């Protein structure tokens, strides 16, 4: 690969100090292992979509993030914020949590499920979970900030849920 293609790969392969789930990612959030996993055509297709969505642009054969790309990246990074569990291993599961996060917010929904697991919640159905209460105030404030609070309902159980 030569020219612009080489420059794209060079840019994307430049490591950064950013990590996601313990894996180093580059400046626009793509895993460094990306090029070992995906074919050049898949990477090219992803770049085309980023360009079409106006997250990246070419300037003198150099790929750069647009302002919209920077905002998108910051939002995505923010949504992946991790909250440590304040609950001990023996915490009683006395809260039923039901959520309906729309498909258009799939990233947030997957993040939310991971966070519930970190809080030692267990899944009853895909959007029905049970776990310890109360949810940390900082976590609830964050749900407001990312506009998920209205998609989540919680119910205090009269007695703890016993895992079968």
The model's pTM is: 0.56
Domains of the chain: 3-79 (1.10.10), 95-156 (3.30.70)
Do residues 94 and 133 touch, judged by C-beta distance below 8 A?
Answer: yes
Tens digits of per-residue pLDDT, 68-83?
877 777 766 655 678 8
The angle subtended at Cα 141 by Cα 135 and Cα 142, nearest 5°, is: 95
Cα distance between residue 113 and residue 125, in whole Å: 12
pLDDT for the residue numbered 94: 92
Residue 139: Cβ within 10 Å count: 15
Is pLDDT above 60 for 2?
Answer: no
Output 36 or 61, whichever has higher pLDDT. Answer: 61
pLDDT for the residue numbered 1: 37
Cα distances (Å, whole numbers) of residue 159 to 28, 112, 132? 46, 25, 11
The bridge status of strand 15-20 relative to strand 62-65 is unpaired
């Amino acid at each position: 690969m030569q020219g612009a293609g080489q420059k794209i790969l060079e840019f994307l392969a430049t490591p950064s100090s950013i990590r996601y789930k313990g894996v180093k990612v580059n400046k626009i959030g793509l895993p460094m292992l990306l090029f070992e996993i995906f074919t050049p055509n898949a990477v090219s297709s992803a770049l085309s979509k980023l360009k079409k969505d106006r997250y990246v642009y070419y300037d003198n054969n150099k790929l750069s993030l647009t302002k919209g790309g920077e905002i998108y990246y910051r939002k995505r990074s923010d949504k992946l914020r991790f909250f440590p569990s304040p609950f001990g291993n023996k915490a009683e599961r006395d809260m039923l949590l039901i959520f309906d996060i729309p498909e258009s917010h799939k990233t947030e929904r997957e993040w939310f499920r991971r966070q519930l697991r970190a809080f030692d919640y267990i899944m009853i159905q895909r959007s029905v979970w049970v776990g310890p209460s109360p949810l940390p105030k900082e976590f609830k404030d964050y749900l407001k900030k990312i506009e998920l609070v209205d998609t989540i309902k919680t119910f205090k159980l009269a007695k703890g849920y016993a895992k079968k």
